[in-house]
Chains A and B, each alone.
Chain A
Amino acid sequence: MSTPWNDLQSCTLCGKPLRDILVLTKVSMDLHSRYYREDGVFENMNGLKKATSEYLCEECFKVFVDKLEAFSTERTVLKNKNGDI
């Protein structure tokens, strides 16, 4: 069940009230882990998965994207170092 937009009071990350926000962005995370068996089959780990949403104000969303970009840059450097590219 997703949080209805009308029930929101604030940015769920920084807590800034709606009256101080121009745009709220719903960011959902869908995590699902599977065990890779020796016989080459991905096995469900007894329901080890999670799907959630946070509602970010414009400021939090920007910080979130910056963090992801920094993470992406860091991993790309590692990938190049490993010779995958």
Chain B
Amino acid sequence: MFENVQEIILKVTRDCNLRCSYCYVRDKDRFRGERMTFAVFQKIIERYLQDQARNIGAAVKQLLLVFHGGEPTLLGAKELRRFMNYARSKIPYIRFGIQTNLTNISPELAALFKKYSIVPGISVDGWHSRSNSLRMNGKKSPVLENVRKLKKYHIDCGPLLVVNKANIKKTWTNIIKLIRNFAIPGIKANYVENIYSPDFVYPECRAEELFKELFLPTIKHLQKKQQLVERNAEGVLSNFFNALIFQNENSPERDCHKDNCQIKFCTGGNKLAEVDAEGVVLSCGRWDDVHELCRIGSVEALDFWGISSYSKVLALQCRKAAAVRQKHCDSCPAGEICSYGCLAFSYAKYGDIRIRADSVCAYYKQVWQYLLANASVVLKSYAAVRNWEIAERRSRNFQVFFPKNAPRLNEESINKVSGWSIGQAGAKTCLQVRY
């Protein structure tokens, strides 16, 4: 069950003090007062330790425990502290995270974040209180004020901005304002997927809008300031240049864990697992109700060799594989950078797992074409962000040197890019770029 797990999302409650209409936990009134008990938490930690003990595969032990909801701070600072102290006493290498709307921040919570070096993930809709009030039935949101409070305690945060048709035009301005005013290194901007209601109050953006209003400004900012501030774009660039420059990480010879979500086969139920307040393990919490497809089983369930949980994760990924095959994604060049869409959201929307042509395919094909056409110029700025050494030779001609631990260069794909070749500078191999 937890043999491969490196991240557990702990849904300590599905109850929340807000009622954001885009949230995938629907009808939150059903969960009023729901809280994970300490006894259930102890069972989760015990199960993790048992599963790790029989694991003969992974050599590196790491665990990130993310308190999630609903709103996890509803559990109270005292109980959260009890949970964290217990977990740290049993698993010395454990790290903690929390995803919160930051409406319940208190000195006790801030002290807890400080003690365990927690950088809370916070949900923000924009810079202005009015933007955020959309989530609070028109009331003024305290989220920005509370980010300021956190900064006074010297606590950083990782904002998550939800992009929709209503705020897409201001998204880039919002990102820059948040970064400048709170000295935040980066923001994740996730786009809304309309999975339930046709008259959804946060309608989806079109692929072209996302490309024009979010991706392009991110790249322009990268080129101008040598900063990569949007996390999803950062992932796209990483996948793009890895695919072009290095030997394929996803080859059968190399076993890898890439991203959790933005990838053909997500790590839900394998590297990442979600546990609800009752101690039921789910492949992911984005499934609204505890659907049979995402339900791996109780933390108390028997699972010899971990084979039962493995087969459940495999069954889910087989459906994703069928969708990939049906769409012929294997022959799509943008497949190297594609997120392939969220299977939980797809199931909620269509009752099946599909890859959406209108949003997913259209967006990533556009991004791929842009990056391929501008690969050399973007690489020059991206190399600076990655601390790859650059040697300018003359105008529109430079060399990139990679760290010693970088994967081997892929000559075949490098030679396919116009103006790129593998060069030698003394004893060092480098990427030679002419544009």
Contacts and interface: CB of A to CB of B under 8 A. Distances in A.
B46 to A, nearest CB: 15
30 contacts: A1-B53, A1-B56, A1-B61, A2-B56, A27-B305, A35-B264, A35-B324, A38-B325, A44-B250, A45-B264, A46-B257, A46-B263, A46-B271, A47-B4, A47-B256, A47-B257, A48-B265, A48-B270, A48-B313, A48-B314, A49-B4, A49-B57, A49-B255, A50-B4, A52-B55, A52-B57, A52-B305, A53-B305, A54-B54, A54-B304
A28 B264 CA distance: 29
B306 interface: yes
Contact of B307 (A1, A29, A35, A49): A29
A74 interface: no
Given A44-B250, A50-B306, A54-B305, A3 B54 contact: yes
A11 B330 CA distance: 45
Given A37-B330, A47-B267, A1 B250 contact: no
Contacts of B55: 1, 50-52
Interface of B: 3-4, 52-57, 59, 61, 250-252, 254-258, 263-267, 270-271, 304-307, 310, 313-314, 317, 321, 324-325, 328, 330-331
Contacts of A45: 264-265, 317
A46 B266 contact: yes
Contacts of B252: 34, 41-44
B263 A35 contact: no
Contacts of A42: 252
Contact of B265 (A31, A37, A38, A46): A46
A84 interface: no
The residue among B55, B59, B271 with the most chain A CB atoms within 10 A of its own CB is B55
A39 interface: yes
A31 B257 contact: no
Contacts of A37: 330
A1 B331 CA distance: 39
B251 A39 contact: no
A14 B410 CA distance: 51
Contact of B3 (A27, A41, A43, A50): A50
B56 A51 contact: yes
Interface in A1-28: 1-3, 7, 12-13, 27-28
A73 interface: no
A46 B264 contact: yes
Interface of A: 1-3, 7, 12-13, 27-31, 33-35, 37-39, 41-54
The secondary-structure label for the interface of chain A is strand
A80 to B, nearest CB: 26
B331 A38 contact: yes
Contact of A50 (B57, B264, B266): B57
A52 B3 contact: yes
Contacts of B321: 35
B267 A28 contact: no
Nearest to A31: B310
In the A-B complex, list the 6 residue pairs whose CB atoms are closest, starting with the nearest: A51-B57, A29-B305, A38-B330, A45-B265, A47-B257, A46-B265
Contacts of A44: 250-252, 254-256
Nearest to A60: B304
B338 to A, nearest CB: 13
Given A39-B330, A44-B250, A47-B270, A52 B56 contact: yes
